[in-house]
Amino acid sequence: MPVNQQKHIASFLDYLKFQKRYAQHTITSYENDLTGFVDFIEIQYGSLSPNELKPTFIRSWLATLKGQDFSAKTINRKISALKTFFKYLLKQGLIEVSPMTTIVSPKQSKRLPEYVERKDMGTLFDYVEFTEDWKGNTERLVLELLYNTGIRQAELIGLKENAIDFQRGLIRVLGKGSKERIIPVSPTLVISIKNYIDAKKKELENPNREFLLVKDDGQKLYPKWVYNSVKKYLSLVTTIDKKSPHVLRHTFATHLSNNGADLNAIKELLGHSSLAATQIYTHNTIEKLKDVYKKAHPKA
């Protein structure tokens, strides 16, 4: 790699680290993407300054990546790295025009979110046995909350005792960007939460009373604990590939959509900032209808 390019990349990475406060894994990804790009340019076109780089050179690199079967998602990430890099060089006065202005990102195929079938969720809560100890009680309530509210894993862990409105059957959830939303819960879940809090006082010695869910040592849950518990129980009732807390969020939204819930209502319950993020659940509904049609219609 030419020395001047190494200098520009090093300066750019320092900018990301110290001014933009990017995570280290993101900085490493940018470094790998930029190094790969610069090495390609040097092999194909020789040692060029940033001002000599043209959109045609970049398209040539992208075509090579596509020929190597890189996914659209990976290519888009590399394009994003280049755009950010050249924007930085522009800001520093090292180039006059960014060669990325005419570069178009390839379209990514939308993957439908995986979810657990309704009958399988019924099996989980009606027939699967949870251990009759504190861990078993907590695991069951974790699954009930995730499925009945669609909250994120971090929101679940951060759920506080005083966020439960037992009279009105509501919970206050602190979501992304510290945005609060209100989610209605069923009378059955309200009773489960109340019983859990009562048991916490009686069974645990000096438990954390701020957060609702705690381990058997009385301390709040952590992400790996929640993930492992969800994966363990979902493995008993479904064969889908992903068995994470987020899958239960998808399951919550998909089941609502399949049963005719208004998309705007689902958006509010999930805490999405825009309707675009919620619309993917209508695709799940459409795919389900297609499947029913193919199986049931004689001319399908």
- Catalytic residues, by residue number, are 152, 176, 246, 249, 272, 281
Sequence-distant (≥ 6) Cβ neighbours of residue 109 within 8 angstroms: 72
User: Distance between alpha carbon 27 and the CA centroid of its chain, in Å?
Assistant: 20
Sequence-distant (≥ 6) Cβ neighbours of residue 140 within 8 angstroms: 130, 192
Q: Is the dihedral angle over the CA atoms 296, 254, 110, 239 positive or is it negative?
A: negative
User: Distance between alpha carbon 115 and the CA centroid of its chain, in Å?
Assistant: 14
CA distance linking residue 248 with residue 146, whole number of Å: 6
User: Distance between alpha carbon 58 and the CA centroid of its chain, in Å?
Assistant: 30
Nearest one of 90, 108, 107, 112 to 99, comparing CA atoms: 90
- Helical axes 134-149 vs 187-203, angle rounded to 10°: 150
DSSP designation for 259:
T
CA distance linking residue 168 with residue 152, whole number of Å: 22
Nearest one of 251, 276, 250 to 263, comparing CA atoms: 276
